[in-house]
Structure 1
Amino acid sequence: MRAADGFTGRANSTLTSGDPGVPIPVALITVEGFAREHGIKPTAHVVKGSPHEQAIEAAGWRVDLDHPGGAESQVMTGPLEKFAAGVAVSRDLPGWWDMTAGSEVTTAQRHVLGSGGNVCFASLTEGGTVTAAVRGAVVEDVLHVARLAVRPSHRRQGLARRLMGELAGWGLEQGATTCVLQVAEHNEAAIRLYEDLGCTEHHRYRYWVPAVS
């Protein structure tokens, strides 16, 4: 069970990939209690089509169709060596945070994006302005990619592809061999980019919430 003052769905939901040790309806009551304690919306992070999803639906929960990022996301994976080009330098710039978290950065945002022992704040700049940004974090041999963003005025110039290549190079230097990332199912442009880089769909997940709040 995770709570981060409402910043991102994953950081404010209960992961349901393991055995809770109690019947699912009992586990969901615990999820609701945890959410009340931390002032967040009770939410379950559920792999689509899994036995847990069927049990959660039977317990009276529903897919969160109002989730800001969309109701369903793909998890994609791919080998870094296929698209590595250059090596990103980690720069914790104010402009990086503006691009990825907004102009007023909270303590929760800094914790979610900045915690961990091996994190890279990669960006591209032009005239002192951050034009593209992404976060990478290496755990064992996996590079987790998140918060990829390109300034609207600089889109369709290949910046996302370039930045992903540099982040992959950084990941290889840190001992990673594979990347993993999440992308909303409706974000077709991003999915095409990741497919071009050699990534394929591993699974999908959805957020579930109580049918009656």
Structure 2
Amino acid sequence: MGQRRSPLGVEDLQRLAARGWPAPEQAPLGDWLLRAAGGFTGRANSVLVVGDPGLPLPDAVDAVARWYAERGLTPAAMLPGTASRRADAAFAAAGWQAQDRTLVLTAPLGPAVPPSVPVDLRPAPDDAWLARHRDGALPAGALEVLTGPEDVVFASVGGPGPVVAVARGVLTDGWLGTSALSVAAEHRRRGLATALTEALRGWAVARGAHSSYLQVTEDNAAARALYRRLGHIEHHRYHYRRLVT
């Protein structure tokens, strides 16, 4: 399977990804998208900075800060690609701190490869899936983010016994988005992450998917190596800026 660049540009891919990880509360600020989910993940609790906010940039930065402060959330902005540089400079000038540099990777989807171990696929997460995904109680809005899209699936691998590995897949306009991949520390380096990824690919290909995207932090060398082996290449990068007081 040959590698190729995604046909979508940075802004289109980021908007598609936002639909696959939907915040329960959203509001436009010009072309920008304000998102809030009770603090569950940066993606669902930051303004997506793509396009024109319809205001001078310093005023847009202030509007974003007010919107998040009104909801008791740390004001945050997601700044993808090179087109966000002017906005990034405006947030920096207002004292917002750069954090969490992240790569967006894409790959074409070819014929499905059966996973090396049995993978359970369900349309909703059960308690075992949620416990492996995140220790402790989920904040308000988390389930709405996880289950909000129309075509979503939750993959898990058992021990036997407790669930030891999970991942989430979502299908949006022919694109598979993979997220929430977690493997228990004592079960790593056994091919479970690969098995989950292949199971999600098979699920998506059966529904007509043609491409895959995912997001991984810049400092996660192990995950980047895994996704590179599975044919993903870098599409673009983004980072957050947060107003930390």
TM > 0.5: yes
**Aligned twin of 1:146:** 179
**Aligned twin of 2:86:** 54
C-alpha separation between the residues in 1 aligned to 2:65 and 2:108?
A: 38
Pairwise CA distance, 1:58: 3.8
Runs of 4+ in 1 over 4 A off after TM superposition: none
Superposed, which structure 2 residues align to 1:11-90 within 5 Å? Answer: 11-50=44-83, 52-58=84-90, 60-61=93-94, 64-65=97-98, 67=99, 71-81=100-110, 84-85=113-114, 89-90=121-122
Q: Which has the larger displacement, 169-178 or 7-16?
A: 169-178
- What does the per-residue CA deviation read over 1:113-165, in whole Å, with 9 as the maximum and x for residues that have no partner? 11111110111112231111001111110111101010111000001001100
**Secondary structure of the residue that 1:112 maps to in structure 2?**
helix
C-alpha separation between the residues in 2 aligned to 1:148 and 1:184?
A: 13
Q: CA RMSD in A?
A: 2.0
Q: Which has the larger displacement, 123-132 or 188-197?
A: 123-132
C-alpha separation between the residues in 1 aligned to 2:221 and 2:90?
A: 32
- What does the per-residue CA deviation read over 1:20-64, in whole Å, with 9 as the maximum and x for residues that have no partner? 1111111111101110111111111001433x3233314514564
The answer for unaligned runs of 5 or more in structure 2 is: 1-33
Q: Which has the larger displacement, 96-105 or 30-39?
A: 96-105
Q: What is the identity, as a one-letter code, of the residue corresponding to 2:138?
A: V
Superposed, which structure 2 residues align to 1:81-160 within 5 Å? Answer: 81=110, 84-85=113-114, 89-90=121-122, 92-160=125-193
Q: TM-score, normalised by structure 1?
A: 0.89
C-alpha separation between the residues in 2 aligned to 1:82 and 1:187?
A: 28
Matched, 1:198 2:198: no
Q: What is the identity, as a one-letter code, of the residue corresponding to 1:108?
A: G
Q: Which has the larger displacement, 148-157 or 123-132?
A: 123-132
Q: Which has the larger displacement, 41-50 or 31-40?
A: 41-50
Q: Tell me: CA distance 1:209–1:92, structure 2 relative to 1, closer, same or farther (3 Å).
A: closer
Pairwise CA distance, 1:89: 1.9
Tell me, yes or no, if the aligned pair for 1:63 and 1:209 is still in contact at 8 Å.
yes
Q: Which has the larger displacement, 101-110 or 182-191?
A: 101-110
Aligned residue pairs: how many?
Answer: 207
**Aligned twin of 2:8:** none
Pairwise CA distance, 1:93: 2.3
**Secondary structure of the residue that 2:52 maps to in structure 1?**
coil
**Aligned twin of 1:170:** 203
C-alpha separation between the residues in 2 aligned to 1:36 and 1:106?
A: 18
